[in-house]
């Protein structure tokens, strides 16, 4: 997958645990096996994360931004950056906090063009050729990140990196995002949530068992529960 999980070190693992415990404590994790969640990209999942709840927790919000900036600096994602671009709608607040911390301009990327001319999906002052960091709350199948990156490129901007609080890290996102040359950096994944939930006994035993089954083979789980399958993803070429 086109994420930066392979770059993890011990400090990243510590941060992932802290973030996962925070997500659990804020009630961001929802479990639903009988009627799976249908993700925008077509995949089915027994779990869903509602990162938008985080805006209501100032202490956790500050902690997340501190970890985000540390991670992005360590991976050189802020080098020669001209602006922060938030994905509508959940990425706008996150982008604003990061832009404020870095004293950088900000734009946001509309979900749809809705009759606007080429390049008009990016709202704010745009200087073609500038490098921007795309920010969103999460990535599941990569569909939203892919569309935002297309809009950014159409506006004449460059986005080599994207940041999300949470990456499902379950479904194949590599083909779509590598085509655009984009790497996605996150603070936590479902594997981290599973480890934190075991540690804190946060989720009921049946939910933990179903999450383990899902993570063992997400594409198969999705197929068996009426969602997209790995074969379908390969045929369409876009997750």
pLDDT in tens, 127-162: 999 999 999 999 988 889 999 999 999 999 999 999
143 is in an annotated binding site: yes
Cα of 41 vs its chain's centroid, Å: 13
Tell which residue, 61, 85, 216, 225, has the closest CA to residue 163: 85
User: Which string of b and e fits 200-214 if b means at least 16 CB within 10 Å?
Assistant: eebbeeebbebbeeb
CA atoms within 13 A on the CB side of 215: 16
Range name among 19-33, 117-131, 143-157 with the lowest pLDDT average: 117-131
137 among annotated binding-site residues: yes
pLDDT over 80 at 235, yes or no? no
Count CA atoms closer than 13 A to 236's CA, side-chain side: 16
**Which domains does the chain carry?**
5-236 (3.40.50.2020)
Establish how many alpha carbons lie within 13 A of residue 64's alpha carbon, considering only the half-sphere containing its beta carbon.
30
144 assigned ligand-binding residue: yes
110 annotated to a ligand binding site: yes
Average model confidence (pLDDT) for the chain?
89
- Specify the DSSP class assigned to residue 76: T
**Both tokens of residue 54?**
């985080």
Q: Is 220 among the annotated ligand-binding positions?
A: no
Residue 167 annotated as part of some ligand binding site: no
For residue 194, pLDDT beyond 80: yes
The verdict on whether residue 111 carries a ligand-binding annotation is: yes
pLDDT band, residue 197 (cuts 50/70/90): very high
Q: Any known ligand binding at 142? A: yes
């Amino acid at each position: 997958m086109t994420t930066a999980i392979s770059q993890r070190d011990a400090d990243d693992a510590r941060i992932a645990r802290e973030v996962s415990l925070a997500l659990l404590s804020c009630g961001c994790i929802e479990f639903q096996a009988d009627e799976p969640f249908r993700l925008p990209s077509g995949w089915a999942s027994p779990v869903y994360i509602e990162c938008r709840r985080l805006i209501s927790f100032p202490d956790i919000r500050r902690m997340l931004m501190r970890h985000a900036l540390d991670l992005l600096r360590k991976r050189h994602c802020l080098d020669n950056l001209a602006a922060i671009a938030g994905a509508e709608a959940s990425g706008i607040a996150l982008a604003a906090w990061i832009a404020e911390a870095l004293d950088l301009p900000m734009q946001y990327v509309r979900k749809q063009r809705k009759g606007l001319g080429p390049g008009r999906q990016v709202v704010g002052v745009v200087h073609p050729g500038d490098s921007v960091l795309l920010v969103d709350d999460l990535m599941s199948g990569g569909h939203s990140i892919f569309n935002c990156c297309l809009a950014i490129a159409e506006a004449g901007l460059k986005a080599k990196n994207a940041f999300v609080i949470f990456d499902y890290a379950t479904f194949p996102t590599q083909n779509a995002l590598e085509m655009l040359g984009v790497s996605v950096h996150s603070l936590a994944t479902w594997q981290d949530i599973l480890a934190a939930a075991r540690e804190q006994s946060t989720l009921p035993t049946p939910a933990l068992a179903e999450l383990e089954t899902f993570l063992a083979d997400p594409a198969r789980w999705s197929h068996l529960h009426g969602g997209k399958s790995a074969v379908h993803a390969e045929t369409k070429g876009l997750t």
